[in-house]
Amino acid sequence: MKKIIILFFVTVALSLSFGSCSKDAIQTGVLSNDRKQEIAAEDPEKVYSADMAGMYTHVQQYVYSDVSHCYFGQKSFDFLTSLMGNDMVLPGAFAMSLYHYTLDYRGQNYTPTYNRWYEYYTMIDYCNTMLKSISADETNPTSRLFRAQALGLRGYAYYQLTLLYQYCYYVGVSDNKWGGGTSYADAPCVPIVTDSITGHQPRSTVAQVHDQIIKDLKGCYDIYVEINGSPKTSSPADFDGCVAATYLARVYMSMHQWDDAIKYSQVVIDNFDVLKGEDEILQGFSDINLPDVVWGCDITTDNTTTYMSWFSQMDAYGDGYGGIGVWRVGFKPFVDRIGDNDIRLWWFECDRTTDGMKRDWENLPESEQKADADYQSYKFIGAGRTNIQSGITSGWEQGDYIYLRSEEAYLTKAEALAQNNNLTDAVAALNSFMQTRDNTYNYTVTDKASLIEEINFQKRVEFWGEGMEYIDNRRLNIPVDRTDATWGAENNNHYAAGKLKAEQEDLRFLYQIPEAEIENNRELTYDDQNP
């Protein structure tokens, strides 16, 4: 597929990423596949460890242009897409992220369009290169586990592309509150490349790309079960079988294949508990050793990107953007709906007992009380809650990155059961989960649509700021509605420029293909461009 310009960026990225990895690893880029396989027969780690380290570095910190502090791999996707929904407020004209907040980012020459395209196709190229070296009939267990990770990461990259460059497989479900059920299975999506990105490929359909994603993720999952006897490894930094299962559940939810979504959600449930109690739920989501972390990245002094980072954007107590005025705020009607006894209410600056809107964490020294906006979020704290309460604020940017949490599987299973008309088990699953957040919670079903809406709301609360709202809005056909006409001016704390309404089939949610791709890929013309 790609083009000369893509190849250039991939080549540079590979050289930069691999050059910083283990000094004992062979720089495999100068070796033929045959020679790689010869060496790997004796020591696979020596051949493939640097390549794999480069892939994980890419997930953590990829940026097309180093002048933008809004881009830092996967967590920047979570942050920016959160600004494209209903629940995160940008309380002022902060230009750095204003374009996503106002849904003005999709043009073929815009930085977001280029950045995401290069980000995920560069990853695909990494994976294709490794998969050419480790064949499907490889028997060495260590080599096969490297192959599993490459398959999984390629499936992940294609999945991310489907979220941006075409509408969801289904937009909505006909018997849900938001309606819809329109299929985009046959709509053009992105080119599928399983060899070299220097070739030329047309756009594949949404269905074809999903088939490739499922094939890759199942390949990853099956290898882990075969080699390890379990989909789970000892390290949350690994793209293991449980990570693959999480993404498989997401894909199947988009395709309305509820039984398969339940199946792979259960894999995660069987291997992970959820966060419980204030110490875990209010920790700050900065430690990949928390019991719910399915996939994450250990951030240290060696790999921190400081101001171009997740905690720079999200941590109100740090010295990054989130701590100096670019606040992340919860939407007032959304926060006001959270139960009084729900531990997650403490993620937002809101004191219902005094009718005030300023509430810092208990035991904070006055000098560290940094609430500057009503409903400001303290969900993500890089240094951790305990450190902040002790007055220790150094190292704010070194919180770990958490890409996937087990709570998603619990709530996905609940929704899939409801979508599958098993309302009794769906309610039981929802109540069981929610009682770890609010011990007074007890939902009683009235109808299917209301149950699914309640599950979705609790998922929005659980994953506020983590990009899930965007994904679920797309597949459930939930409009972005921040208008005074809906909420009333007195309840609407969205910034004036962000008070908009957009249905999920609005063009504003559809990235255009980068112009350079159109110009350099012989299989594409401007007629193939998204409108």
- What would the pLDDT profile of 400-436 be if each residue is shown by its tens digit? 999 999 999 999 999 999 999 999 999 999 999 999 9
Cβ proximity of 123 and 157 under 8 Å:
yes
Q: How far is 128 from 190, CA to CA, in rounded Å?
A: 16
Can you tell me the mean pLDDT for 100-115? 92
Confidence of residue 393 (pLDDT cuts 50, 70, 90): confident
Beta-carbon contacts of 266 under 8 Å, excluding residues fewer than 6 positions away, are 409, 413
pTM over 0.75: yes
Q: How far is 318 from 388, CA to CA, in rounded Å?
A: 10
> Residue 9, Cα to own-chain centre: how many angstroms?
23
Output the pLDDT for position 9: 36
Output the pLDDT for position 93: 66
Question: Could you tell me the sign of the dihedral formed by the alpha carbons of 329, 332, 334, 339, in that order?
Answer: positive
Domains belonging to the chain, first-starting first, are 4-229+509-528 (1.25.40.390)
Q: How far is 249 from 254, CA to CA, in rounded Å?
A: 9
Does 104 score more than 70 pLDDT? yes
Confidence of residue 6 (pLDDT cuts 50, 70, 90): very low
pLDDT in tens, 118-141: 999 999 999 999 999 999 999 999
3-state secondary structure of 461: helix
Does 289 score more than 80 pLDDT? yes
Does 290 score more than 80 pLDDT? yes
Confidence of residue 470 (pLDDT cuts 50, 70, 90): very high
Does 328 score more than 80 pLDDT? yes
Cβ proximity of 113 and 512 under 8 Å:
yes
Higher pLDDT, 463 or 282: 463
Can you tell me the mean pLDDT for 74-103? 91
Confidence of residue 10 (pLDDT cuts 50, 70, 90): very low
Torsion of CA 357, 358, 362, 368, to 10 degrees: 160
Can you tell me the mean pLDDT for 66-72? 81
pLDDT in tens, 329-365: 999 999 999 999 999 999 998 877 655 555 566 566 6
Among 45-49, 298-302, 326-330, which is the least confidently predicted range? 45-49
Output the pLDDT for position 26: 35
For the chain, the C-alpha Rg in angstroms (whole number) is 22
Portion of the chain with pLDDT greater than 90, in percent: 74
pLDDT in tens, 186-245: 999 999 999 876 678 999 999 999 999 999 999 999 999 999 999 999 999 999 999 999
Portion of the chain with pLDDT greater than 70, in percent: 88
Q: How far is 236 from 406, CA to CA, in rounded Å?
A: 11
